[in-house]
Structure 1
Amino acid sequence: MRVSGLMLPSKNRFGSHWLVGVMLLAGNPLALAQSNTDISTQTKAARHSFAIPAQDLGSALSAFGSQTGIQVSYEARLTANTRTRGASGQLTEQEALARLFQGTGLSWTLTADRTLLLFRREEGSALNLAPSTVIANGIATETAEGPVMGYRATRSATGTKTDTPLRDIPQSIQIIPRQVIEDQQIINLGDALANVSSVQRGNSHGGSSESFVVRGFQSRTYAIDGMLMNPLVSRPEVTRDLANIERVEVLKGPASVLYGQGDPGGLINLVTRKPTFAPEAEVTAQAGSWDFYRLQTSASGPLDDAKTLAGRITVAGETKSGFRDTFQDNRRTYVAPSLRWQPSERTTVDVGMEYTDLTSQFDRGVIPQNGKIRMAPERFLHEPWSHDDADKLSAWFRIDHDVNEWLTLRQTTRWDDSYKERYVVDLRGLESDGRTLNRRVTDGDEEVTTLTSQFEAIATFDTAGIGHTFLVGYEYLKGDRNASSYRAALDPIDIYEPVYGATPSSPFEFSGISDYRLESHSVYLQDQIALNEQWKLLLGARYDSSQQENKSVDSDYVTTPTDLDPEEVSPRIGIVYQPTDWVSLYAGYSTSFVPQGDIDRNGRPLDPETGTQYEVGAKFDLIPDRLSATLAVFELTRENVAVPDPEDDEYSIQTGEQRVRGVELDVSGEPLDGWQLIGNVSVLDAKLTKDTEYEEGNRLQGVPTLSGSLWSSYQLQSGGLRGLGFGAGVFAAGQREGDIANSYDVSGYARVDASVFYDVNEQVRVSLNGRNLLDREYIETVQTTDGNYYGEPASVVATVSARF
């Protein structure tokens, strides 16, 4: 037995070890050690700047004991020939210990007199493949890209590209962990984002895609593992499957300083599930209303005896007819294999692919009449043959290498290729009788290819007692988008007494071709500065230089080339003040930009559209280590918006401006053992402030003044019914305008969902989820005259899931 101690310089090293994720150690996870010691909340929450590199476990524990004043006591044989990946960053003592012991096969406990005791964990004989989460001393270890224990996340890389506590980031970031996705039985991204304040569904483009309104502004695309998808598209190429998603994160407000050109409302980042070195597998089968059937499976584990190579494979397939009077089922197939190679303690290589195949009935929803939408929810205005097919293949690799204890190098490359084929009915407008709807047919296709590479270096060091985490990066992006279409006339339809069977007139006539090519080079810098234990400063800037060649050919075969060469500098600054361990006050300024292809009367392309945000807020623990909240107040302005030239509407000028002011509150956590909750509420004043065509003061489309949601679940922790759980939630939004002209609006709604579930044993769960239990008739999505969709009537989904 020995007691060790050694002082270590105060550095905040960011290393690649956090990419490994939190892994499930062999045996029953319930057998992992949990302390019965009553440690004070102050001790639990206090954070230290750790910089313990990968080394033998004994030396690492000596460094830990010296820095924290904790006595470390153990038999030397326990740590013999055992290495640790280290612990770096601003961490609590429990978080640091959990990282040091990760993968060692050892457990620990902290006594009342602050002595750390070690012992070897008993290995269970049964194979338990629950989600890979390490629990040590009752505290779950969390990394920015790993699993979250429960509903409350505490770390993210979305806002800084480094593994950073949420309380240290001067911007609102909301996270939907995988447990929320599973408890609510979520299968699409829109339902997941309903748990985040100030996020509404946007136009689904006939049901073949998805977009969102974040803080009042359209969000055209999203990021995957920190890499923004193709900025040339106006919406994602396919609907996203969540089978391989570990967490959904939303960075509120402009994010151009790290992600380049993007929309001002915010950035949605999807963090994928990574391969694990502890074996795990799961199968989930679902069946529900409207002929919904889904099967998904995922398996992960080591692929060699030395455990340097691990793999994961995720497969999902589903089919659904929907509640509307359509004629074709919507089908989606998803396959995602990935590998993780760790040839040494300093290097991690991730390689992966994704393939999505989507076939859907094209459906633009319902249309407004005289300022309101009064059509029956099931009314279908297209034809049985109207469909939209798409597929997308993605491949990527990422290499992280710790050069030494203070420098990490990272290289990431991603390639995306998608193809979409559309044979659809377009809705053209009502005739004067108010019931005859004109239509046409479009036969078109679109192919999009993108290659993105990022090279980054992260250095952690001190200057005169001030800690720095410095990030420098270079990004290269090359994208191509080619779309063509042919059109034909189609008989109109009576919206009240529809008769189907119309066929397109012949022949189809050429409508147009558009070809967009984008190449950009970007350099970005960021410094996370720990001035002291209470004050933290974030500084960042990015320079983007793009070359965009746009060429369009209209129906008269007239070619119009437009070359754009925008350059933009995007600054960001934020400050955090933490007067106590349970509250973090922050203020921040951030910007965004989006190049646009409109031209003025002189043939000159317009300047990029920009966004500017001022935000102040507070992040605090309502219950320490259990229940957290974020309160944000912001003003977000979208400037340089292209509007029609009042002297010639074939051209544009840049006088448009839109502004959103708002207050948001997001809450998540586990108030009591077994009781999980996640909720939000937002109040937004979103309006048009400058325009040449529409009245200033008009409300922005699809943005409610008041919206929010609350979901809570509870699982019995003891007794004969242990394992039985219940969940219930309310999702609400106020009145919304349908377009920027405010020519029609839709009423607000409140939808009630619920669930009941039972863990038959540690491996098998059965559940029943109900949606819109009160069978309310409401418009869930309102986006101009061809993007209005009713929410689903009362429905149920039954699920059986097993982990082996």
Structure 2
Amino acid sequence: MTCLALALFAAWSLPSHAQSSAAAAASGSNLPTVSVTSSTDDDAGTEGSGSYAARSATVGSKVPLALKETPASISVLTRQRMDDQNMTTIQDALRYVTGVQSVDYGDGTAYFKARGNMLGIEFDGVPIVSGLQYLQQFDLAMYDRVEIMRGPSGVMDGAGDPGGTVNLVRKRPLDAFHVSTETQVGSFGSARQMIDVTGPLNKDGTLRGRAVLVGSDGLQSVDGTREKEVMAYGAIDYDITPRTTLSLSAGYQNNPISGLDYGASGVANSARTALVGRVPGSYSENFSPSWNYGYTSLQETNANLVHRFENGWQAQSTFFYRHELSKGDYAYSGPGASATGLSFYGEQRQRNTYDWFGTDTNVSGPVKLFGQTHTFTLGVNYTVQSTTQQSGFVSLDGPFAGGTFSLYDPNAISKVDVPFTYGANNRIEQLGVYGQARIHITEPLSLVLGAREAFYHQTAQTILPTVSDWSTQAQLNHRFLPSAGLVYDIAPWLTGYASYSKILTAQTATTYTGVNLPPRTGEQYEVGLKGSFLHNRLNATAAVFNINDNNRAVSDPNHPTGSIAGGKSRDQGVELEVSGQPMPNWNVYAGYTYLNVNYENDTPNLTDGTDPKHLFKLWTNYAFRQGMLNGVTVGGGMLAQTRITRGVEQGAYAIFNAEVGYRFNKHVEASLQLNNLFNRDYYIRPPGSFYSVFGDRRNVMLTVRSDF
């Protein structure tokens, strides 16, 4: 496929403007890479910028909007930073975003939180219900950037947790021929190869294409765990007219994992302490039998049609479909273990299928009134998730008293046949009509108003052991979700803002009589400052937020079999972030978060763990472009957080990484990255009654990249 794509792209001559761009790149001795240009409508694109600072973002607005103009906290993980930090998974990416917790689950998936709550997801601006948490995602090689808005986004996305929204924006075809490769070899025994080819498919450049292929095979930090990956992504952009563009894309990926390990549980006592002598200890130990396996496959299609009117208005429609198959057969320990490492084990077999469909249609543009230019956006979006889940569980009999096994000899566990004993179909639908107005009251003062009329419907039926009728689990009709914000231009390089957002989250818990609980409701208040310095090469933000979350489901004190909507929580915090280029050839990203979570008539969900009060993330990279060190790059970073609890307490820790690289010429560069420099022992996911995930021990990654 790759050879065919290369031949196809090379068969056409470059447009004249692409030739001149390439010639300019060749003549500029200080340019580190081949210059490429794009004729897409993605003004927020980061590919080829060479910077950690994004010009704008589309999350929360549907159209590219300067970060300073948005009364919300937004971080953008650019293509350059993903490359510099060798990020290949969504877990890698979000772990180094301000205020975000990225917690591995042990099977190639993870859960993600911000501001004390779970995050939702959009794909190219289309909100997808229940599409992020505990699910496999595509390799980052197919994405231009990752946008993250912290805080509720009910106007654009509908009912959901108030943690925020992740928007994954795919790469688009470029209008100049370009091929890049990436080869990575890791000290755990991993190898990864990527090739990315793009360019025009006809002589006038109105048809452009792109193909990205990834293959990887490697051992993981935990002994005996091996994960493979094959990913293919293709995209075509066609300019039907100079003002109308149709974009089509498709992706495929599969991820088999052998030696899958969910880790050890905590000791079965009131304190749920860790295993004796194991913290700190062997952070490479596999506590599961070698026959454990998991498998996930993803298929995805996307279509976007955009038309730009002469008066500055734009209309676009996007359609998204994804199918995911996840299956596995594995043994794991728990609940709990003895201090010396004896634990019950059970074997679980499961097969889950997920189908998502989402669509978003909107129009946006300027309106001139009272001597000012205002911007309006009107749209409607719809998303549906259909799942089929089948599972079976068998408690295994061990050789020790009470039927336990030793955590330190998991291969003594024999595999048994596990039939499916439970099955269910689930369906979640969400529909909304939304609008957003950006009204310039005066030249420096803007009022941002948003509103949504929201509909939500969740149903389920069992298919094993018997088939039941479909029943409603949660339903919301004609729920109004408003938001409001003020943005004031203090100076050309500095804005201040204040915002209010409404929260609405459906709940499936019921009273003891079986009546559905009302949704969680609440609001977020946020104030902040945003600066753009050095001709927009450096961005800085500071924000203070307060989230009130009401009607959370808690146990009914009078009826143990039911719940009541009596829980309340308040999440307060401060976020600081700097990203961009303080000097030529120097990129830096730093983010700090203080978070204080208070519960009233409620307790933390220790299945997902508590949140660190202090969280700091840093990455920097400097490229020498002259003198004896010309071509050398040096970089490094850290992640530091205070203690968290998920049964076992994980104390405060800091992880340091370092990198050195060399550009041989304008086409080829190599880098050597040393991760966990001081070999710090730590948990990403501390043990509870079940499961734990160790952080990677010290490791080295060699990366060679080429651009032509």
Q: Displacement, 1:623?
A: 4.5
Q: Does 1:731 align with 2:628?
A: no
Give matches, 1:175-574, under 5 Å: 175-202=76-103, 204-219=104-119, 221-231=120-130, 235-326=133-224, 328-361=225-258, 362-369=260-267, 370-374=271-275, 375=278, 376-430=282-336, 435-492=341-398, 494-495=405-406, 497-505=408-416, 508=418, 510-552=420-462, 561-567=471-477, 568-574=479-485
Alignment of 1:165-184 (within 5 A): 165-184=66-85
Residue 26 of structure 1 and its aligned partner are, at CA, apart by: 2.9
Cα deviation code 1:612-670 (max 9, x no counterpart): 21100001135553322100100123332222222333322211222211011000111
2:550 equivalent among 632, 639, 657: 639
Q: 1:379 to 1:785 in 2, by over 3 A?
A: farther
**What's the offset of the Cα at 1:133?**
5.1
Q: Structure 1's 491 and 710: CA in aligned 2 closer, same or farther, altered over 3 A? A: same
Cα–Cα, structure 1 residues 372 and 236, in superposed 2: closer, same or farther, change >3 Å?
Answer: closer
TM-aligned CA distance change 1:178 to 1:30, over 3 Å: farther
Consecutive aligned runs of 4 or more in structure 1 exceeding 6 Å deviation: 556-560
1:359–1:637 distance in 2 versus 1, CA, 3 Å: farther
The separation in 1 between residues aligned to 2:500 and 2:293, in whole angstroms, is 44
**Equivalent residues of 2:648, 2:688 under 8 A apart:** no
Q: CA offsets, 1:77-115, max 9 Å, x none?
A: xxxxxxxxxxxxxxxxxxxxxxxxxxxxxxxxxxxxxxx
Q: How far has the Cα of 1:607 moved from its partner?
A: 1.9
> Contact conserved, 1:196 with 1:666, CA < 8 A, in 2?
no
Counterpart amino acid of residue 664 in structure 2: V
Aligned partner letter, 2:612: P
Cα pair 1:688 1:699 within 8 Å, conserved: no
Query: Could you tell me how far apart the structure 2 residues matched to 1:699 and 1:617 are?
Result: 32
Counterpart code for 2:349: D
- Percent sequence identity is 26
TM-score (norm. length: structure 1): 0.79
> Do the aligned residues in 1 keep the contact of 2:372 with 2:443 (CA within 8 Å)?
no
> Separation in 1 of the partners of 2:686 and 2:448?
37
How many residue pairs are counted as aligned between the two chains? Answer: 674
The answer to whether the aligner puts 1:751 opposite 2:649 as a matched pair is: no
Looking at structure 1, the residues matched to 707 and 581 of structure 2 have their Cα atoms a distance apart, in angstroms, of: 24
- Check conservation: 1:257, 1:592, Cα contact below 8 A: no
User: C-alpha offsets along residues 585-632 of structure 1, whole Å, 9 cap, x if unaligned?
Assistant: 001111333322222122211222335211000011355533221001
Three-state SS of the structure 2 residue aligned to 1:429 is: coil
Structure 2 unaligned residues grouped into runs of 5+: 1-15, 399-403
Secondary structure of 2:396 counterpart? strand
Aligned to 1:665: 576
The AA in structure 2 aligned to 1:552 is T
Q: Structure 1 pair 465/650, CA: closer, same or farther in 2 (3 Å)?
A: same
- Indicate if the aligned counterparts of 1:237 and 1:392 stay in contact, CA closer than 8 A: no
Return the alpha-carbon distance in structure 1 between the equivalents of residues 22 and 298 of structure 2: 37
Contact 1:619 1:630 in 2 (8 A): yes
CA distance in 2, matches of 1:426, 1:612: 40
**Counterparts of 1:699 and 1:357 in 2: how far apart (Å)?**
28
The residue type equivalent to 1:193 in the other structure is L
Deviation at 1:792, TM superposition (A): 0.8
Corresponding residue for residue 703 of structure 1: 611
Q: CA deviation at 1:421?
A: 1.1
Conservation of the 8 A alpha-carbon contact between 1:588 and 1:616: yes
CA distance in 1, matches of 2:431, 2:410: 54
Secondary structure at 2:140 match in 1: coil
Matched residues in 2 for 1:509 and 1:227: separation?
38
- 8 Å Cα contact 1:688-1:700 kept in structure 2: no
Partner SS, residue 192 of structure 1 = helix
Kindly tell me: are residues 668 and 495 of structure 1, through their superposed partners in 2, closer, same or farther at Cα, counting changes over 3 Å? farther
- The SS at the match of 1:650 is coil
Deviation at 1:181, TM superposition (A): 0.9
Which residue of structure 1 lines up, in the alignment, with residue 53 of structure 2? 152
The aligned amino acid for 1:224 is: F
Name the CA shift for 1:700/1:573 in 2 (closer, same or farther; >3 Å). Answer: farther
- Deviation track 1:309-365 (CA, whole Å, cap 9, x = no partner) reads 000001111122112133x41111111100001122211111001111011243212
Q: How many angstroms apart in 1 are the aligned matches of 2:472 and 2:611?
A: 33
The 1:656–1:761 alpha-carbon spacing in structure 2 relative to 1, beyond 3 Å, is same
> Match of 2:619, as an amino acid?
W
Judged with a 3 Å threshold, the aligned counterparts in structure 2 of structure 1 residues 640 and 130 are, in CA distance, closer, same or farther, namely: farther
**Structure 2: how far apart are the matches of 1:178 and 1:146?**
6
Contact 1:562 1:597 in 2 (8 A): no
* 2:63 pairs with one of 147, 150, 162: 162
Q: What is the Cα deviation at residue 695 of structure 1?
A: 8.7
Cα distance change, pair 462–558 in 1 and its aligned pair in 2 (3 A): closer
Q: Which residue of 1 aligns with 2:12?
A: none
Match of 2:36 in 1: 132
Bigger Rg, structure 1 or 2: 1
**C-alpha separation between the residues in 1 aligned to 2:261 and 2:410?**
16
Q: Output the amino acid matched with 1:208.
A: G
The CA deviation at 1:419 is 1.0
Aligned to 1:261, the other structure's residue is in SS state: coil
* Alpha-carbon shift at residue 159 of structure 1 (Å): 2.2
For the residue of structure 2 that corresponds to 1:181, the secondary structure is helix
Give the deviation of 1:579 after TM superposition.
1.5
